[in-house]
Structure 1
Amino acid sequence: MKTEKIIMPFNGYIALGLATACAIAAFVGIVHEQPIFVIGFMLLFVFIVKGLIIVSPNSSQVLLLFGKYVGSINKSGMFWINPFYWRRSLSLRAMNFESTPIKVNDKMGNPVLISVILVWRVQDTFKVSFEVNDYQQFVKVQTDSAVRKLAGSFPYDHFEDERATITLSTNFDDINHALEQEINERMHMAGIEVVEARIGHLAYAPEIAHSMLRRQQASAVVAARHKIVEGAVGMVDSALKLLSEKDIIELDEDKKATMVSNLMVVLCGDRETQPVVNTGTLYQ
């Protein structure tokens, strides 16, 4: 497989000086009525001018001679090349591409919407020009393909697979690294370098988003309740110990059970409690 060949063409400023000299010589021939002299220098002038080429910074010119690849010019400036060379201009600047969100199934089969932000640039002008038909379309198609493969390799979160070490929604650095590596492998044949690849959008598909949101809310409520109960038990235990240590009141097992029950209701309830004044004994 062929690769890029960098060439250094003739200095364009020298060629421009020669073209100017030919134009002056042709003008002198006109003054002295020397038609053959004039025609010769005019043809030479046109030949030189047609070969002048300007390459901008971070740009490249791919050169062909009758279908044969000659080389590429990656250095900026003004140069002179064979006027019969076919030229194709390519940008070497970094380019951004943001894919539209696509619906794919994660490792557990749940439909998710996912998109990617890709920063890429041309690395090999020969491969970009002759190994693929349309390199920009190639980037889009291969990026979508890599995203589909990535999404199918990992679960969305730990709710679906508790044993998973990497998920799409939590391990962003690992996911982005895997995505960048996957896209780089696909872009290598086209001579394209992936500068950065990261997930731009990630969400459950609309048909299951509501159910998944309710599941997450339920899990959050259970976790919060667990913390509340854990704290309430500690507070009840502390209250009983203080009452015992300071000899404030003697509580038998029934009284302790009643006190624990009341404290747990007060501490764990999700509504404000209403105080009740007991004017009798604890057993009334």
Structure 2
Amino acid sequence: MELPADRPHRSFPRLIQNEATTEIPFHLLFRDDPGPAAGHGAGSGGGGHLSPAPVALGPAVVGSRRGTGEQPRFRRRVPSPARPAPGVDAALVERPARALPGAAGVLAGACGAAGCVLTSWWAGALPPLAAQALRLPQAAGTGLGLPQWAAYAGAGALGLLGFGGLARGRTGRAWVLGLFGRYRGTVWRTGLIWVNPLVPRRRIDVRLRHWRSDPLPATDADGIALRVAVLVVWRVRDTARAALGIDDHEAYLRACVEAALARVALRAPGCGPGAAQAAGDALTRLVAREVGPVGLEVCAVRPARIEYAPEIAEAMHRRAVAVLDARERAGALTSVVDSVEDTVTRLAVRGLVDLDDGARKVLVRDLTVAFCAGRRETSR
């Protein structure tokens, strides 16, 4: 812009000024000339073109843009392709397979059937009643030649492909497709669908399931043999690895549960729900880590029944009965002693009897015998 010679030079208004940035002149934000124009400034005696020199913006201006009103610039990140987990075959990573709506298969099959009927009419092999029902004119009856057989083959192939590829997708089930021993994808769609009939398919259940094991061997913290029945809640997470990685899911779960039981010290029967909960959490973590690489997900592993091994069950039963009997006897003796002491103390405090040491011992003995006999009679 040109400035008159008689007009004094004035400073441009400051647009952006805060504590996080330095002052930026207004004309620098909207300048069109990116290059420097040194030597073209306004002279002292006359007008000229005002081309300010480039201003070096420091890191305080460029790096900090808070409060300036300038929107930050974001680069669009290109998602990197998913990588399989370590130790897992890249060909066994679940991916969607191609499937069409069932209407496409029905339409193709209907067209194939219609083509076979028209070819039969063309060859004169269609019964007259069928031709009248279909309102077809009377054909010349050229017979079955090479063109008719080619039409039959094309229409039949179309009908077989259309009707043969129809499948019913259900909620909680998926179709795993494979061709020549290679995984081709998984179909998760529900309803009537069309899948290429030339590709073998296998239906797999992806619902939440539970499995109760037979009594498995285990040991407690003291090394005593136990038998544990475990309830496992699980489901298929990756259909490719679950269908093609292992043959029998329940057999694999059994092996993983047995391996986990060998590393977890269980508590003996009757130790309370807290011990069973802690053992279940430890078993869940171990089994979930083992079955993860084969596409299974374990939600919970809980001991359903814990009992002693048959070879030591009778001995442990006798031991438990002896412990309970000893505990009962100790409790009864403590109760009798407390009752005798309370009785003797109350008699002495109230002055009902004046006892020396010998009489006190006789009274204590008689009271103990009486209380024990009364407790025995009460227990009967």
- Greater RCO between the two (CA within 8 Å, min separation 6)? 1
Q: 1:136-186 CA deviation, whole Å, 9 max, x = no partner?
A: 322222222222332xx345379xxxxxxxx79861111122222222122
Secondary structure of the equivalent of 1:171? helix
Which protein has the larger Cα radius of gyration, Structure 1 or Structure 2?
2
The answer on 1:239 being equivalent to 2:329 is: no
Structure 1 unaligned spans of 5+: 159-166, 274-284
- Identify the match of residue 74 of structure 1 among 175, 188, 197: 188
* Contact preservation (8 Å) 1:157, 1:170: no
Q: TM-score, normalised by structure 2?
A: 0.61
Secondary structure of the equivalent of 1:72? strand
- Identify the match of residue 179 of structure 2 among 37, 50, 65: 65
Partner of 1:135: 249
Partner of 2:268: 156
* Contact preservation (8 Å) 1:99, 1:144: no
Partner of 1:9: 99
Q: Call closer, same or farther: CA 1:114–1:183 in 2, change over 3 Å.
A: same
For 2:331 and 2:252, locate their aligned partners in 1 and report how far apart those are by CA, in whole Å.
52
Partner of 1:228: 332
- Identify the match of residue 185 of structure 1 among 289, 292, 312: 289
- Identify the match of residue 89 of structure 1 among 193, 203, 209: 203
Structure 1 position 221, deviation (Å): 2.0
Structure 2 unaligned spans of 5+: 1-87, 124-146
For 1:17 and 1:82, locate their aligned partners in 2 and report how far apart those are by CA, in whole Å.
15
Q: TM-score, normalised by structure 1?
A: 0.80
User: Identity rate of aligned residues, in percent?
Assistant: 24
Letter in 2 for 1:156: A
Secondary structure of the equivalent of 2:221? coil
Secondary structure of the equivalent of 1:181? helix
Q: 1:110-146 CA deviation, whole Å, 9 max, x = no partner?
A: 2222232223222211111222243332222222222
Structure 1 position 272, deviation (Å): 4.6
The answer on 1:32 being equivalent to 2:122 is: yes
Q: 1:221-246 CA deviation, whole Å, 9 max, x = no partner?
A: 22222222222233223222332343
Secondary structure of the equivalent of 1:62? strand
Q: 1:76-124 CA deviation, whole Å, 9 max, x = no partner?
A: 2221122221211212234443322234443322222223222322221
Secondary structure of the equivalent of 1:82? coil
The answer on 1:45 being equivalent to 2:159 is: yes
Letter in 2 for 1:54: R
For 1:169 and 1:267, locate their aligned partners in 2 and report how far apart those are by CA, in whole Å.
38
- Greater Cα offset, 185-194 or 134-143: 134-143
Pick the structure with more strand per residue: 1
Partner of 1:164: none
* Contact preservation (8 Å) 2:211, 2:250: no
Structure 1 position 43, deviation (Å): 2.0
Secondary structure of the equivalent of 1:199? strand
Letter in 2 for 1:127: R
Partner of 1:280: none
Letter in 2 for 1:29: T
Counting matched residue pairs gives 263
Q: Call closer, same or farther: CA 1:261–1:129 in 2, change over 3 Å.
A: same
Equivalent residues in 2 for 1:166-205 (5 A)? 171-205=275-309
For 1:139 and 1:102, locate their aligned partners in 2 and report how far apart those are by CA, in whole Å.
13
For 2:347 and 2:222, locate their aligned partners in 1 and report how far apart those are by CA, in whole Å.
54
* Contact preservation (8 Å) 2:268, 2:306: no
Q: Call closer, same or farther: CA 1:32–1:148 in 2, change over 3 Å.
A: same
Partner of 1:162: none
Secondary structure of the equivalent of 2:262? helix
Equivalent residues in 2 for 1:199-278 (5 A)? 199-268=303-372, 271-272=376-377
- Identify the match of residue 221 of structure 2 among 95, 107, 116: 107
Q: Call closer, same or farther: CA 1:170–1:61 in 2, change over 3 Å.
A: same
